[in-house]
Structure 1
Amino acid sequence: MATVKHESAEYVGNCELIAEVGAGGMAVVYRAVQQPLGRSVAVKRLRPDLSRDPDLVQRFRREALSVANVQHENIVSIFDFLADESRGEYAMILEYVEGIDLHELLDRCGRLPWDVAAIIGLKIASALEYAHYRKIVHRDIKPSNVMISLKGEVKLTDFGIAKDMTFDDMTRTGMAIGTPSYMSPEQVVGARLDFKSDLFSFGILLYQMLSGEKPFVEDERSTVLEKIRDEACPPLRKKAPTVPRSLARIVERCLEKRAEDRWQVTAHLRQALEQVVARHVHINYSGRLVAFLCHRGIIDADEAAHFVETSVLDDAEMQRVDAGGPPTPPLWPLLAGFAAVGLVIFLWIAVLHAGLLGPPEPAQSPLVTDTREAGFLKVVVDPWAHVYVDGAYVDTTPFARALPLTEGEHRILLKNDYLGEEEYRVRIRKGEESTLNVSLRE
């Protein structure tokens, strides 16, 4: 390979360099046109001052091999690798993604609408699932390594420090490698890494998209690396209350300090995200991303209309959410409340008219009076519920006391006027306290 100048144009192989679009510690990336095909490509060229370092050249070659081994719709593709050892010139010819990287998008928008963040997360998880299947650990999951195209595609990029488990590791034991704010606890201490390290970094990324903040930030007491290693992150829903609990739980599991407590298979993470997105997003996922980019002024409406129906782009509620407003609360709880009140009034009048009104027979209380013979059950319900034990009403949450119950199995029924009811079986042991912690909503 030779870098050649034809009049005012500069070529790498058969690719005419148009403009520099990015630079890192090892390489410079250019937008280029590959001739004679006339297609846009990205040329990633190893810095000339590093080309005499055999370890760095080897790492650059391995990056090319890693990308070549993971051909996937959510991973940027490689078309060619060019090497001229006599001149010390090395370059990759890669797929060019016309769009915006996630780092710039977050700079512009702060937090993303949770459905947009979940779709982007789903696509990244799909890329990681395939990379991990091919025994490649990315080791540098961060916003600048995620591209969102103007067509709503999501692409994972930059496998420059990826670890291919089929090769010998070029990283020395005890060496921390990666971007500090997005490292896993294992990376912080320089331990041996596997795919679960990527899941922690992915959890940081998803947390940032949903809340607009990184979960671990340096302060006067601790560095970011110390916080990643030792401290729990702030609960996501305190930062972003509109995020569904099911999605928050996915993030929390990614951010478990111990690798064995995270997702045990990347496919399970992808499936969990898929369920959340499928339950709430009812248009094409790429189309939803295009609509968001349009509503934030990153692409114009005419360009977006090539991929998304005008009715989606003109949706007033979607525009409001994409502009940073909270979603409109659903009307069904209010309507259900009005219907319930109307039904109660109707039945009350009917009973009075029939002369049947009288005090209800109180159900026998299941609670034990002699607490020396009891076990205890603490009931915590979000948002609230009427609590029935073995068919008898005992209280409405929230309440602080633990319920004294006889030893053995009890049937616990939780009723919420708007969110329905759920039933649980709990086993009580004498002298012990158990907790039933339930969420009746997303």
Structure 2
Amino acid sequence: MNTADLGLPVDVPSTALFTDQYELTMLQAALKAGTAERRSVFEAFTRRLPEGRRYGVVAGTGRVLDAVENFRFDAAVLDFLRERNIVDGPTLEWLADYRFRGDIWGYPEGEVYFPGSPILRVEGSFAECVLLETVILSILNHDSAIAAAASRMSAAAGERALIEMGARRTHELAAVASSRAAYIGGFNSTSDLAAGFRYGIPTVGTSAHAFTLLHDNERDAFTAQVDSLGRGTTLLVDTYDVTEAVRLAVEIAGPELGAVRIDSGDLLLVAHRVRQQLDELGAARTKIVVTSDLDEYAIASLAAAPVDAYGVGTQLVTGSGHPTCSMVYKLVARAESADEHAPLVPVAKKSLGAKSSMGGRKWAARRVDEDGAAEAEVIGTGAVPAELAGRQLQVELVKGGAVLGRESLDVVRDRHAAARAGLPLSATQLSRGEAVIPTEYV
């Protein structure tokens, strides 16, 4: 697997340093204590949804699988660890041969989740599993936050198209991951060419205000764009006077003009005026695209406007106020010894307050009502009740270190649409509320 597929510069040889130092110091101490090879089960989950959110969206699983596969301690990485005296010699020798050879189960990408949902379960020796904590969480927390924001925006937009255009508002590598997560959540295209190249997401884009300002007048700018890109292009009409720009746009491109874009002002009012003007000029098929710092609330407020597509940037790539899902990665079971036949013992942190967790390897299933709508997220550690056996959520992603769970983004995107449609109608309400279904432990 080429590291470029992870959104990494090609000169980054592995994902092994996408971690916190204490993962390695824990490994060193466990190796010395003789506990590193104990069979262990780690789970990634969140204790609560971000405030006001009714469901979460699992995103980043495909990137996690790539990251696990590329988690290698090559010579350059080992030299760095040695020079910084981060771990001792025996630990360096162990890391030189590191390969994840365990198993990973998880919610399929695109699925929805709720508080306590065991989104990812990683099984193997303590040593091989603990090293993956930071990279798994960094991917899942980021991508799931963006996908959740995208899903809310998609629900608010209905059948209207959504364009992801936030690359300039975040880190250049995060921009690529954001485009991928937004596509899963329901966006139709991206302005980011790296995302198009790496993930096959449809890309769009025509011109900015700078192109209009470059020319001596708006007529020259529109003429140059239409001559180059064709009558089906999208012309930006709010650099100067919108009414005059729309008139010029139709005059130059004709009724075949693809679209006009509005990037400022009272979008509801301006969109109505532009639609009326386009229709009067005979450009009834010309679409209207609106941008300008939109979020799900602004999109919902434009439901009555004659808008055909929304371009969203800043609010999307920052999770629309919730840039992380607060997922954690906790040891929930471990063997009593390094013997491969030693039984697993449930373990859990017993903290005061909200940081306690439930021990044991967990299964998860979604119970539905008589109409087929989800009514509860059911989580347990024992036998799965017969009535839930066919509704289990976790699937096998990695077996014996071999990746099994790679899927196309279109499959993941369709899964999310189906999962969201299976929730109660109140799931897509933008008013603040609790999780749309409760989590039950059995």
Shorter-chain TM-score range: under 0.3
Q: So what's the TM-score if we normalise by structure 1? A: 0.24
Q: So what's the TM-score if we normalise by structure 2? A: 0.24
Higher Cα radius of gyration: 1
Query: If each structure's strand is expressed as a fraction of its own residues, which one has the higher value?
Result: 1
